[in-house]
Chains A and B, each alone.
Chain A
């Protein structure tokens, strides 16, 4: 039976994302709304970039927040950042939607949007984790870096990347693996990952 929602334990200062997630885990709807206000546009932007359609992006954002609400108790600040938790959910839900559609329409229609400029990558410099990733991405050559960004940000699969870049599938896979390995090594040397 649904009862009245419990009063919010959200204090005026307690607005950091990890705290909001923990309050959501306790069923605090005020905190959930605050989380939406704070993260809605970021997650929707991520979903929109992957799905390329407002309606699909709204579905992905909806599904992501639903999952946030349902699984907030699974967020453990000792094991990772709140940002990674939220960003991952939004990406997975958006990827689910485009992969399903990709099957329906058979094939990805690549667009010719301008590639990520080095300028855009400076957005990573806002925090320590981002700065480390930025530094490590800079060690990749330009094409590999572009590949990583296309994969992560635009949500292209191995075969979609091969099609877009007009290189054999095996080549794309091997480029990505080598890039991931060098990122892993570089990041391990640079930062202590929370575990």
Chain B
């Protein structure tokens, strides 16, 4: 573009929703990094929102509330959500177990590359136990986390493990999983492995210890392909966690930023992005 960029106009076009490709990406970047731009966006939201009144209301399909209620029943759906070990809701329980089972199976094979076959195999029984539990407030112990701890390995080795894990998941049909390896922006330190199920369950685990200052929290963000602003998925414990989110499409960029305690006050990343990676479909 040859003309002088007018940030307020860019904000207006962003709110209007007309930006294509590169411009949309630029607006998303500014929204995440520039508080003046974010304020301009808010201003335009206020100006233009009344125009939505021309659209007649249409009752949502029956059952949508139940879906929303189920999606928000997870403990992570609180205002400053922290990812936790627990996954609630009847619907999620079975598929969570299934996912756990796939991971375990994949792990039992790929673990041979790091010599932990015994541990991985012995853990393979736990998902079956989880599946027979009552379906209210099931806590998934996530043996994956322990296994990942075992995989304390260099970044390169972790990437190789993640790749072989992905390769094994490819061979197992249901449920299709999306995986992402979030690598450190600095190139050093542990990596995070993210696995997403079609029902919106997302697990994010580091393969090492992430040092987070006392007055800070890690926050997880999703930027879908074609989406123009990252969406907060919640505060991420340094040890990783599991949460239920709206389903994430392959190609979604996952990012972890360093934020003030409790998460970004603005709704957009305010601190440096420490980790990033893209979800890829492996079904």
List A residues at the B interface (Cβ < 8 Å): 1-2, 24-27, 29, 32-33, 36, 40-42, 44-46, 48-49, 54, 57-58, 61-63, 65-67, 69-74, 79-81, 83-85, 87-88, 91-92, 95-96, 99-100, 102-103, 116, 120-121, 123-124, 126-127, 129-130, 133-134, 137, 148-149, 151-153, 155-159, 161, 176-177, 180-181, 183-184, 187, 193-195
B267 touches A74 (CB 8 A): yes
A-B contact count (CB 8 A): 200
A57, B65: Cα distance in complex, Å = 14
A119, B74: Cα distance in complex, Å = 44
What are 23 A-B interface contacts by the 8 Å CB criterion? A1-B75, A29-B72, A36-B68, A45-B55, A61-B60, A62-B64, A62-B246, A70-B232, A70-B234, A81-B49, A96-B224, A100-B224, A100-B225, A103-B226, A123-B54, A149-B51, A151-B16, A151-B17, A153-B51, A158-B18, A161-B18, A184-B8, A184-B47
**A150 to nearest B CB, angstroms?**
9
- For residue A67, which residue of chain B has the nearest CB? B231
A176 touches B16 (CB 8 A): yes
Binds A, one of B77-85, B118-126, B169-177, B186-194: B77-85
A74, B43: Cα distance in complex, Å = 15
B103 is an interface residue with CB less than 8 A from chain A: no
A155, B225: Cα distance in complex, Å = 17
Top 6 nearest A-B pairs by Cβ distance? A130-B50, A84-B49, A41-B57, A99-B226, A45-B58, A44-B60
Contact of A72 among B50, B79, B84, B249 (CB under 8 A): B79
B53 touches A123 (CB 8 A): yes
Told that A44-B58, A91-B52 touch, could you supply 6 new A-B pairs with CB distance under 8 A?
A45-B56, A58-B60, A70-B79, A71-B232, A133-B48, A195-B39
Residues of A contacting B45 with CB < 8 Å? 80, 84-85, 87-88
A111, B58: Cα distance in complex, Å = 19
